[in-house]
């Protein structure tokens, strides 16, 4: 008990001194340390005693600023260089100015603009016809909601996913009841499908930043799902297009930008994991299906981005 009490008292003393240090170091130009002595003697080790004990022998007695009474005043000692100059009567030697201080800074950018894989997803063949702004806006809204569910639901126990999905969708007032039901059905079907099991396994991660370099240019993006396995890497991006393709040939024809996007993610990850194959896939939520993109198609897409 006594040891614990001593420890507590020691910690209290340390905190007391810490607070005194903080208070004293807030002064900018001068610090006045003063107090009032009453009938009761200040406790031993109080803040005034600590300051006086440390500085008194270094102080000189001077008149107070108001001319009444005397004070102990502590002044900073002169710098060594100033003291030398004063003792010799000669000015301190000039300091040579480094040459780089007179040189204009290089305004050339240190690196090129970052390649954003998401910038390649708007293929001309996949764009909506002019005038379909409302349809485009609702498609983006739907896509954002699907991505949010696909990101969050895998972390929720299977028996609670249905309830959580509908609870989230009930708050999306911009969607009709039919649209909300359709989204819930699609997302829950993907999570329950055994063919997607690896993608949502415990060692998978959602919304993973992919940052790296390719031919001297930085790459900066976010992959929807990443699985780092012991023998291979799997990355997948969710696509909510209603006109989902039915095969690789159709994907290459209408959604080549999506393949370029995955090729950039794959290029960065291949440098991080040189001894493991990196597989890529597109998850078409409207079907739903997981479409793996073959290495040959990815290599060809990447060549269009890196060839001078």
Over residues 254-273, the pLDDT tens digits come to 888 899 999 999 999 999 99
**Region for residue 45 given its phi and psi (left: phi exceeds 0; alpha: psi -120 to 50; beta: otherwise):** left
Is residue 210 within 8 A of residue 202, CB to CB? The reply is no
Question: For residue 127, which of 137, 118, 136 has the smallest C-alpha distance?
Answer: 136
Give residue limits of the domains in the chain. Answer: 2-27+39-78, 117-306
Strand partners, 212: 219
Q: Is 284 left (phi over 0), alpha (psi -120 to 50) or beta?
A: beta
- Confidence at residue 225, expressed as pLDDT on a 0 to 100 scale: 92
Q: Is residue 168 predicted with pLDDT exceeding 90?
A: yes
- The residues with which 292 forms a beta bridge, in sequence order, are 281
- Low-confidence winner among 77-81, 146-150, 268-272, 281-285 (lowest mean pLDDT): 77-81
Omega within 30 of 0 (cis) for the link into 3: no
Report the predicted TM-score, pTM, of the whole model to 2 decimal places. 0.56
C-alpha–C-alpha distance, residues 133 and 139, integer Å: 10
> Which segment, 21-35, 119-133, 155-169, is predicted with the most confidence on average?
155-169
DSSP 57-81: GG-EEEE-TTSSSEEEE--PPPPHH
Question: Helices 158-170 and 177-192 meet at what angle, rounded to 10?
Answer: 160
Cα–Cα distance between 219 and 111 in angstroms, integer?
Answer: 11
Q: What tokens appear for 242 in the block? A: 């209603």
Give residues with Cβ within 8 angstroms of 253, minimum separation 6.
125, 245
Share of the chain above pLDDT 90, in %: 24
Vertex 262 angle, CA 256 and 268, to 5° = 140
Helix (H, G, I), strand (E, B) or coil at 219: strand
Beta strands in 52-153 (DSSP E): 60-63, 70-73
Helix (H) or strand (E) holding 220: strand 217-228
Q: Which range among 109-113, 221-225, 300-304 shows the weakest confidence by mean pLDDT?
A: 109-113
CATH class of 117-306: alpha beta
Per DSSP bridges, beta strands 60-63 and 217-228 are unpaired
Other C-beta atoms lying within 10 Å of the C-beta of residue 207: 13
pLDDT above 80: residue 132? no
């Amino acid at each position: 008990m006594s040891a614990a009490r001593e420890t507590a008292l020691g910690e209290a003393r340390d905190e007391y001194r810490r607070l005194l240090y903080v208070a004293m170091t807030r002064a900018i130009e001068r610090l006045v340390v003063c107090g009032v002595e009453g009938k009761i003697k200040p406790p031993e080790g109080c803040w005034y005693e600590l300051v006086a004990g440390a500085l008194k022998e270094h102080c000189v007695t001077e008149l107070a600023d108001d001319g009444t009474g005397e004070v102990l005043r502590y002044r900073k000692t002169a710098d060594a260089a100033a003291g030398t100059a004063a003792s010799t009567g000669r000015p301190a030697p000039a300091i040579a100015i480094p040459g780089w201080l007179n040189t204009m800074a290089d305004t050339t950018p240190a690196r090129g603009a970052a390649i954003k894989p998401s910038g390649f997803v708007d293929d001309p063949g996949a764009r909506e016809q002019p005038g379909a702004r409302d349809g485009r806006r609702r498609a983006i809204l739907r896509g954002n909601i699907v991505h949010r569910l696909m990101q969050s639901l895998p972390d929720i126990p299977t028996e609670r996913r249905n309830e959580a999905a509908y609870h989230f969708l009930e708050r999306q007032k911009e969607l009709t009841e039919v649209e909300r039901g359709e989204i819930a059905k699609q997302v829950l079907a993907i999570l329950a499908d055994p063919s997607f099991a690896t993608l949502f396994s415990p060692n998978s991660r959602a919304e993973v930043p992919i940052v790296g370099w390719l031919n001297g240019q930085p790459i900066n993006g976010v992959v929807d799902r990443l699985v780092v396995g012991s023998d291979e890497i799997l990355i997948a991006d969710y696509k909510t297009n209603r006109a989902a393709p039915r095969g690789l040939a159709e994907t290459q024809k209408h959604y080549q930008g999506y393949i370029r996007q995955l090729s950039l993610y794959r290029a960065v990850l291949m440098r991080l994991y040189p001894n493991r194959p990196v597989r890529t896939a597109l998850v078409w939520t409207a079907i739903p299906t997981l479409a793996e993109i073959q290495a040959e198609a990815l290599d060809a897409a990447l060549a269009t981005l890196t060839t001078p």
